[in-house]
């Protein structure tokens, strides 16, 4: 086993912060559901925990109170629901409950094995009366059968023989985490589910079916148990939970295993949640657990074959990179009914909502390494296109679609519109991601069936929104990526993404028309040639701000006239500055939460001169707090582009280890999925200098001095390339597929088998 695929923590601590952090770091997920890494035996009363099991895209409505009601302000939101608890397994040996908060913990470790797709919690515990047991608990969220979750609980008595009792709980009495002091999680306790049905079936399964109180969705969970030893069993069915008891003998130094299976089905994907869950449980039990373990390993072999990145010279970094990519795989939805939340399925930060993070930070990784998943993510946006059309009407547009800033089912969940709903750039982000996916994969069928409609409907919104004034097309009163500068005119990033959106909507329309593939789309949305001419004119005349004196692109038309922020003021805690400053105060200063214009330069590097990008980078770097986890990775990529190697590596090193080191002090609420995607981009778009343009694939590789070698794989137009960068050269090797045409340092090559290019300085 390559150590870089094993994330391990040794030693036991009872501190609240460490327990919450490890619940996130060692969670299990497969894109359909996620389970926090809670202790099966639970914690003492009063001990902080976020005990959760979640299904991607499964939500309830909750009230979003507006102190002053105005037309179009959303008054309800969707929240990812903590659906049930099947984690609880309490072991008692000879009358003593195994409890890590009592007795003595002699050994303790937690392991995430990213080759096998499992987590392992192992400990040796000595009871107050001196009995010693070794417990090894293996968990798996199956990639082969997405509804399946297993807990293999093995106990070995080390210095005694006797009797053991296992109490296994299946509870529908669950609630979501809340913290009224943190805007990134729910602010109050809300009941989302009611148990509609619970029973012990003839098969010996426990079954609970619950219904959301407002969204009308159903979810069923079924559990079953297998024991390696003879046992006696009984069950107790309560109003909201089912408890099963197993009694079995223990013999000194002989292990006994209790395996708990959970199958989950929700009504978004299944018509008969109860019947389907029971059928899938029978299918699960019809194979030995080792079969599912092998399926898990086989799935991951294929994933790593495409996605693995190997860094020679920094083992800790290698581990953090594999951790980040594995978490993206765990978090990302595997069908068009869901997406990927800002915290994946590891916690309740941002209530499970989907943001622009997906398109700008995560779709690039999957487009290059696992294209079918990228297609699912974009298909979700197509799935909610009608709701985006409805949102556009609410916001005052007669045509087109406006995607919500944060959502699960397609309706807007943003309660504070200046830094939420006003971020119209999400339309440009989604269209940009769709075009990038198409250019990387060549998937014209997707563009015909879904992508073109997304591009045209989002372009319609821009055209309706904008205004021709003094020879330019302008966009007013919007918010760019920087959430410390809200409701401004002509945000450079927003205008540039809108220009791209309008241009590509026209290009795709004309190609569809030329190929005789436009008729169906014309019938569905009524698009006309006159509109396309309008798109092209608006794109051509789009106002892109430029300051000749500073040779920078102003973030918006008021940013340079604002007061400078005093960065010497003492921080009040570890969190973002908005936690001790009124937001309206921040809006009046030159202070940025995250990359904004710098992000525009990264994705549209040909839209301005290199000197302008360099001066802009220097200007905004001094004014950016990086309070968002989406920021440093982008600054790192642009530092690499501009030859600032030391800065590039410092930014990259911080972002790559953000969750493992809990650098932003909030990983307890869930992983930072966008930053994880940004870390991948830091290597591919940063150190490899990779860009996807209409004219082809471009590379400007360099190697950080801290590394001996970097190796990774990319899929381009259906062909798979392995790319290796050393201190002196970059080697491209065609693994499978047809030859790939690409540009290195601006010179064109074709990779038929192998290509070696000497590294250059720039």
What are the catalytic residues? 483
Q: Of 272, 276, 343, 295, which Cα lies nearest the Cα of 56?
A: 343
CA distance 144 to 32: 11
The full 3-state SS of 557-580, as one line of letters, equals: CCHHHCEECCCCCCCCCCCCHHHC
Give the position of tokens 């590294």.
Answer: 759
Give the separation between CA 759 and CA 762, rounded to whole angstroms: 10
Question: Starting from the edge strand earliest in sequence, which strands make up the sheet with 747-751, in order?
Answer: 691-693, 696-699, 740-744, 747-751
Q: How many other CB atoms are found less than 10 A from the CB of residue 313?
A: 15
Question: Residue 603, SS3?
Answer: helix
Alpha carbon distance 278, 683 (integer Å):
45
CA distance 173 to 194: 8
Tokens standing for residue 741:
């045409």
Give the span between the Cα atoms of 328 and 682, in whole angstroms.
Answer: 15
Instruction: Tell me how far apart the alpha carbons of residues 375 and 331 are, in angstroms, rounded to a whole number.
Output: 15
Chain-centroid distance, C-alpha 736: 29
Q: Give the number of C-alpha atoms closer than 13 A to the C-alpha of residue 97, restricted to the C-beta side.
A: 12
- How far is residue 317's CA from residue 43's CA, in Å, rounded to a whole number? 33
Pairwise CA distance, residues 111 & 120, whole Å? 5
In whole angstroms, give the CA distance from residue 326 to residue 311: 16
Q: CA 751 to CA 516: how far, in whole Å?
A: 34
Give me the helices (H) in 332-451, please.
Answer: 357, 363-369, 371-383, 385-394, 425-441, 444-446
Contact 633, 652 (CB under 8 A): yes
Q: Spell 658-688 as b/e; 16+ CB within 10 A means b.
A: bbbebbbebbbbbbbbbbbbbbbbbbbbbbb
Cα–Cα nearest to 210, from 38, 345, 60, 407: 60
Q: Decide: residue 754, CB within 10 A, 0-12 exposed, 13-18 middle, 19+ buried.
A: exposed
User: What's the first-to-final CA gap in the chain, in angstroms?
Assistant: 39
φ/ψ bin of 695: left (φ > 0), alpha (ψ from -120 to 50), beta (otherwise) = alpha
Please report which helix (H) or strand (E) contains residue 234, including its range.
Answer: strand 232-237
Which residue reads 């830094």 in tokens? 419
Q: How far apart are CA 470 and CA 521, in angstroms?
A: 34
The span from the CA of 294 to the CA of 306, in Å, is 19
């Amino acid at each position: 086993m390559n150590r870089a695929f094993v994330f391990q923590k040794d030693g036991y601590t009872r501190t609240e912060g460490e327990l919450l952090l490890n619940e996130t770091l060692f969670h299990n997920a497969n894109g359909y559901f996620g389970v926090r890494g809670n202790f099966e035996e639970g914690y003492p009363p009063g001990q902080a925990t976020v005990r959760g099991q979640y299904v991607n895209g499964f939500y309830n409505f909750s009230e979003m109170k507006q102190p002053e009601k105005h037309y179009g302000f959303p008054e309800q939101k969707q929240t990812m629901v903590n659906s049930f608890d099947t984690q609880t397994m309490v072991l008692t040996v000879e009358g003593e409950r195994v409890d890590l908060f009592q007795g003595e913990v002699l050994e303790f470790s937690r392991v995430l094995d990213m080759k096998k797709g499992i987590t392992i919690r192992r400990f040796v515990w000595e009871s107050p009366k001196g009995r010693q047991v070794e417990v090894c608990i293996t968990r798996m969220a199956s990639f082969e059968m997405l509804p399946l979750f297993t807990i293999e609980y093995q106990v070995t008595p080390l210095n005694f023989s006797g009797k053991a009792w296992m109490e296994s709980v299946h509870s529908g009495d669950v609630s979501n985490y809340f913290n009224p002091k943190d805007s990134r999680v729910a602010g109050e306790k809300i009941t989302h589910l009611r148990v509609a049905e619970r029973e012990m079936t003839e098969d010996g399964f426990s079954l609970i079916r619950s219904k959301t109180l407002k969204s009308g969705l159903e979810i069923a969970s079924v559990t079953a148990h297998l024991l390696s030893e003879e046992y006696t069993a009984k069950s107790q069915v309560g109003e909201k939970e089912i408890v099963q008891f197993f009694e079995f003998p223990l013999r000194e130094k002989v292990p006994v295993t209790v395996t708990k299976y959970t199958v989950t089905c929700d009504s978004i994907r299944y018509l008969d949640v109860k019947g389907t869950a029971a059928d899938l449980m029978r299918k699960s039990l019809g194979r030995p657990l080792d079969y599912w373990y092998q399926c898990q390993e086989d799935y991951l072999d294929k994933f790593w074959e495409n996605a693995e990145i190997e860094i020679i010279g920094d083992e800790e970094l290698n581990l953090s990179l594999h951790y980040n990519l594995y978490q993206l795989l765990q978090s990302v939805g595997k069908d068009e009914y869901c997406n990927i939340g800002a915290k994946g399925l590891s916690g309740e930060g941002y209530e499970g909502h989907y943001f622009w993070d997906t398109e700008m930070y995560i779709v690039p990784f999957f487009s290059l390494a696992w294209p079918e998943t990228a297609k699912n993510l974009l298909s979700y946006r197509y799935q909610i296109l009608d709701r985006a059309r409805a949102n556009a009407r609410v916001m005052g547009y007669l045509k087109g679609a406006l995607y919500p800033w944060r959502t699960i089912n397609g309706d807007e969940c943003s309660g504070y519109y200046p830094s939420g709903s006003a971020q119209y750039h999400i339309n440009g982000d989604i269209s940009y991601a769709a075009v990038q996916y198409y250019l990387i994969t060549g998937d014209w069928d997707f563009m015909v069936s879904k992508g073109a409609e997304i591009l045209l409907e989002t372009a319609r919104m821009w055209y309706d929104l904008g205004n021709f004034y003094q020879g330019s097309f302008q966009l007013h009163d919007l918010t760019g990526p920087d959430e410390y500068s809200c409701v401004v005119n002509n945000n450079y990033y927003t205008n540039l993404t809108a220009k791209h959106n309008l241009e590509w909507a026209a290009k795709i329309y004309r190609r569809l028309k030329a190929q005789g593939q436009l008729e169906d789309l014309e019938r569905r949305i009524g698009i006309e040639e006159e509109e396309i001419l309008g798109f092209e004119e608006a794109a051509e005349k789009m106002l892109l701000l430029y300051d000749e004196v500073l040779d920078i692109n102003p973030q918006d038309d008021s940013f340079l006239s604002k007061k400078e922020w005093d960065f010497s003021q003492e921080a009040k805690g570890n969190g973002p500055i908005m936690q001790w400053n009124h937001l309206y105060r921040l809006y009046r200063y030159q202070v940025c939460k995250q990359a904004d214009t710098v992000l525009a330069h990264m994705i549209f590097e040909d839209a301005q001169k290199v000197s302008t990008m360099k001066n802009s980078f220097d200007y905004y770097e001094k004014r950016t707090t990086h309070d968002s986890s989406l920021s440093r990775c982008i600054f790192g990529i642009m530092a690499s582009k501009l030859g600032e190697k030391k800065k590039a590596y410092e930014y990259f090193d911080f972002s790559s280890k953000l969750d493992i080191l809990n650098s932003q002090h909030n990983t307890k609420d869930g992983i930072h999925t966008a930053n994880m995607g940004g870390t991948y981009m830091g290597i591919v778009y940063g150190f490899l200098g990779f860009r996807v343009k209409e004219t082809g694939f471009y590379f400007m590789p360099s190697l950080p001095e801290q590394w001996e070698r970097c190796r990774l794989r990319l899929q381009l137009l259906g062909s798979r390339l392995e790319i290796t960068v050393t201190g002196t050269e970059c080697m491209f090797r065609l693994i499978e597929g047809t030859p790939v045409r690409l540009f290195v340092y601006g010179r064109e090559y074709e990779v038929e088998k192998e290509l070696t290019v000497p590294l250059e300085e720039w």
